[in-house]
Chain A
Amino acid sequence: MRASTYFIRYWQLYALLVLPLIYFAIFKYGPMYGIQIAFKEFNFFQGIHGSEWIGFDAFREVFQNQEFYKTLRNTLMLNFLDLLVSFPAPLFLAIMLYELKSKAFRKVSQTILYVPHFISWVIIGGIVYQVFGTQSGMINNMITALGFDAVPFLTEKTHWLFTYLATGVWQSAGWGTILYLAALTGINGELFEAADMDGANRLQRIWYITLPSLKTTIVTLLIINLGHIMTIGFERPYVIGNLAVRDYSDVLSTFVYRVGMESGQYTLATVVGLFQAVVGLIFVLGANYASKKLADESIL
């Protein structure tokens, strides 16, 4: 079939494709015009076009800034720890849910597990303060009532890491199970029956059937997650973080917010954003390449 007849026959499908393409053009490609701010001394009143070119001066300024390296380190550290803790959590949870015999119980627990995903970080932040505070937090009230010393969950940086990761798991693990559960419904039930016949116990079934059938999903999600290793949401570190744990809670997004939005230095903020995007791209391509070589799975 010639390309044009193909196109004419299936024009409805192409028409459907137009909307997402417009979305990408407007919200993803359009703003790339602004990248040039990184190479200009941005003046509010001259606009992007009228501002003067300064070459790589702004890059030099950013790369000489100690705060930048600290926030870069924290971003990588928090994201990496998140990858270790929050990435496997939904997988375990999904398998556990899948193994549940009672359908009603599974449905109810799934719904309960989804709820935190819909709570905004600002509210979670308030809850976290009430629960983990040192002076009057719920948990510390219990600890001190039992005669132990209060634990500085929020104000000591190592303890804070635990709080940060735990709230992350609590907030996202339930929602993260959706993709896995969808993939799990695709498994042919006969495989399990056969395994039962062969005398496989539950763990063996999980290991030899459930996990392998999730491989593609896991790899895909891992690659996507690696692509985000340089970017970190603004709300979570900003809301859960505080002055006492700045050493760990100050990340690129909060840095950009402070420098760009609060201090009006859009040039520096753009430089950081561009840097993040470039490194993120390298991570995605690298992870994709590695997974192609090692597991013969890739998304590109």
Chain B
Amino acid sequence: MERRMGKTSKKMLAVTAGFAVLMSACSNAAPNEGAEGAASGEQERTTLKVEVFDRGNAPAGMSIDNNYLTNYVKSSFSDTSGIDVQYVPIPRSEEIQKLNVLMASADDVPDIVFTYDSGTYYRYATQGGLTDVTELLDEYGPNLKAFLGEDTLKYGQIDGQQLAIPGRRLVLGRYASYVRQDWLDKVGLPVPQTTDELYEALKAFKAQDPGGLGDKMIPLGMSMAPAQYESLLWSFVEPLTEEQRYTLTQKLGSSDYPVLLPGFKDGLQFMNKLYNEGLISKDFALDEDKKQIWQDVQNGLVGAYSEDAGELFFGYNSTYKNMQTNVSGATFTPIDPYTDAEGKHAKPGYAPNAMYIMIPKSSERAVEAIKYLDWMASEDHLFFMQNGVEGENYALEDGIPVLDAEAPQDVQDRLYNYGDMAIIVNGKFIGEPQQNSEAYIRQVPKEYHELMRTSVDISNVDKIDQIVMPRPIESESKYGNALAEKYKELIVKTTMAAPDKFESTYESIMKEYMAGGGQAILDERKTVYGEMR
């Protein structure tokens, strides 16, 4: 099998190569004249290299560096500015590793790079590898500056220098939870409003098996992706003083972690109880990318679970739709059960910044880079990149563009990568926050709009804001990734420990956590907090 495929592809290669030779031979003379003619009339053309995430999902006939949106950039931006944009694909799943390699090789690095990982950004910034764009922004990026606003821009400032241009994040709520309404009805329980009520419901699911699934049933869906465990764990955090918030929070990668916050351990204890009573999947530790839990939810095995708000309704995911197809009568009710000591439903949200967009110091195209980003923020370019053509891709409803799900596939495919092309924003930008939120909601198929709206509302209830330190915490950039792994290990091991081993397991991993950089971060944060006072 393998061998045969190899042969076929070799043949294909040979044929393609042959064609290429023929084509170039035939067309050799023609293009030169054209190029000369065009060049003489315009200013000198420059090439701007821009990173783009490659998710390997290009539709037939398109590629990540040649598709509808790159062509739009060409016609709308390059042709008027004389700046050709060349996209440098970086695999989404290994972006940091690849970016590190690119940054280390000053010659090949794109002029515009980006990452969500704050540790990586800080490292580049502190090693002096980034261009300070403060003045360039004033001179060439008025639209961009206005679009992002000071609140967002400050996430990219260190010691008064604008070393990154943070994208703007529009949807700041993160999580909602869901429960199987048909199961609740069968066991005769109300929709759970608190952690205790949810626990009762899970126990009832386990005992009464309303789905008739036997061993296969998973009362509470769990995985090692943050969406599944964060709302649960954060709800156990006790009320904090301002000092505790600043000093005990640990920011690893791009999110705040509750590992040292008082009460967090009780959350782990609760997870341990759920696991040992058979209320969560025995294999939750193996599932780090939500593949398994989505499959379980779709097969109707899961009674309740937490998720990125509304993710299950999106067309790319279709979890909810598939579940309803597989199990007749299955419905989810969005819930907000996890309750903290004050009766609040506190859960983490996103910081108002999205990706850190950076221009490496070695780049000679910093001006062009700002021009490109400014172009994206000006007029209706962003709107076009996110929504396409009116009447073909979308229709306006109450001033909100709603994508036409019935549009021909090739029309829909135009926008397949809009999220990765429109780098200055995360979420659909219409204008006012209310409109943006509504545009986000209406991205899901019509029949789910109400469920989606409830989910988004839930995600905004008692949202915990991310903490912004006045200057980057160096040890977070150094130990962040390793500690984030250790944190996951802490959750998994304490959850899976026998109840009498919980304490000793917790102690031993926490010791490793603190020795592996946790203590260093704590100390540094205390120092910085002292300076703030």
B181 CB, nearest partner CB in chain A, Å: 24
Q: How many residues in B have their beta carbons less than 8 Å from beta carbons of A?
A: 41
Neighbour of A136 across the interface among B283, B478, B493, CB < 8 A: B283
Neighbour of A44 across the interface among B100, B479, B515, CB < 8 A: B100
Stretch of B66-74, B121-129, B378-386, B459-467 that contacts chain A: B121-129
A136 and B100 contacting across the interface, CB-CB below 8 Å? no
A133 and B100 contacting across the interface, CB-CB below 8 Å? no
B516 and A243 contacting across the interface, CB-CB below 8 Å? no
Inter-chain CA distance A73–B139, complex, in Å, is 57
Q: How many residues in A have their beta carbons less than 8 Å from beta carbons of B?
A: 32
A45 and B482 contacting across the interface, CB-CB below 8 Å? no
- For A185, list chain B residues within 8 Å (CB): none
A258 and B285 contacting across the interface, CB-CB below 8 Å? no
Interface centre among B2, B103, B123, B285 (most CB of A within 10 A): B285
A-B contact count (CB 8 A): 91
Query: A63-80: which have CB < 8 Å to B?
Result: 65-67
Query: A108-164: which have CB < 8 Å to B?
Result: 118, 129, 133-137, 144, 150, 152, 154-155
Residue of A nearest to B509 (CB): A246
B10 in contact (CB, < 8 A): no
Inter-chain CA distance A244–B216, complex, in Å, is 21
- For A265, list chain B residues within 8 Å (CB): 478
- For A246, list chain B residues within 8 Å (CB): 489, 493
Inter-chain CA distance A144–B278, complex, in Å, is 15
B97 in contact (CB, < 8 A): yes
- For A258, list chain B residues within 8 Å (CB): 481-482, 485
A66 and B516 contacting across the interface, CB-CB below 8 Å? yes
B283 and A135 contacting across the interface, CB-CB below 8 Å? yes
Inter-chain CA distance A133–B119, complex, in Å, is 34
- For A136, list chain B residues within 8 Å (CB): 216, 283
B224 and A243 contacting across the interface, CB-CB below 8 Å? yes
B492 in contact (CB, < 8 A): yes
Query: A235-250: which have CB < 8 Å to B?
Result: 242-244, 246
* Contact A244-B285, Cβ < 8 Å, known A45-B128, A47-B104: yes
A263 and B485 contacting across the interface, CB-CB below 8 Å? no
- For A262, list chain B residues within 8 Å (CB): 96-97, 481-482
A264 in contact (CB, < 8 A): yes
Neighbour of B361 across the interface among A45, A264, A266, CB < 8 A: A45
Inter-chain CA distance A137–B283, complex, in Å, is 9
Interface centre among B103, B218, B286, B515 (most CB of A within 10 A): B286
A154 and B104 contacting across the interface, CB-CB below 8 Å? no
Residue of A nearest to B485 (CB): A258
B283 and A155 contacting across the interface, CB-CB below 8 Å? yes
Query: B312-367: which have CB < 8 Å to A?
Result: 360-362
Inter-chain CA distance A111–B100, complex, in Å, is 42
Residue of B nearest to A268 (CB): B478
Decide if the interface of chain A is mainly helix, strand, loop or mixed.
loop
A66 and B285 contacting across the interface, CB-CB below 8 Å? no
B282 and A47 contacting across the interface, CB-CB below 8 Å? no
A63 CB, nearest partner CB in chain B, Å: 14
B426 CB, nearest partner CB in chain A, Å: 22
Inter-chain CA distance A262–B482, complex, in Å, is 8
B512 in contact (CB, < 8 A): yes
Query: B267-294: which have CB < 8 Å to A?
Result: 281-283, 285-286, 288
A155 and B496 contacting across the interface, CB-CB below 8 Å? yes
> CB-CB contacts of A29-67 with B at 8 A, as 1s and 0s?
000000000000001111100000000000000000111
> CB-CB contacts of B195-212 with A at 8 A, as 1s and 0s?
000000000000000000
Neighbour of A264 across the interface among B100, B106, B285, B515, CB < 8 A: B100
B215 in contact (CB, < 8 A): yes
B283 and A154 contacting across the interface, CB-CB below 8 Å? yes
B2 and A152 contacting across the interface, CB-CB below 8 Å? no
> CB-CB contacts of B211-222 with A at 8 A, as 1s and 0s?
000011010000
* Contact A134-B283, Cβ < 8 Å, known A258-B481, A262-B96: yes
A200 in contact (CB, < 8 A): no
Residue of A nearest to B2 (CB): A118
Residue of A nearest to B94 (CB): A261
Residue of B nearest to A255 (CB): B482
B480 in contact (CB, < 8 A): yes
B285 and A243 contacting across the interface, CB-CB below 8 Å? yes
- For A43, list chain B residues within 8 Å (CB): 127-128
B282 and A135 contacting across the interface, CB-CB below 8 Å? yes
Given contacts A46-B127, A243-B493, 8 further A-B pairs with CB under 8 A are: A44-B129, A47-B104, A133-B283, A154-B283, A244-B496, A258-B485, A264-B100, A264-B120
A and B contact pairs by CB, cutoff 8 A, 13 listed = A44-B100, A45-B106, A45-B360, A65-B516, A66-B512, A129-B283, A244-B286, A244-B492, A244-B496, A261-B97, A262-B482, A263-B482, A264-B120
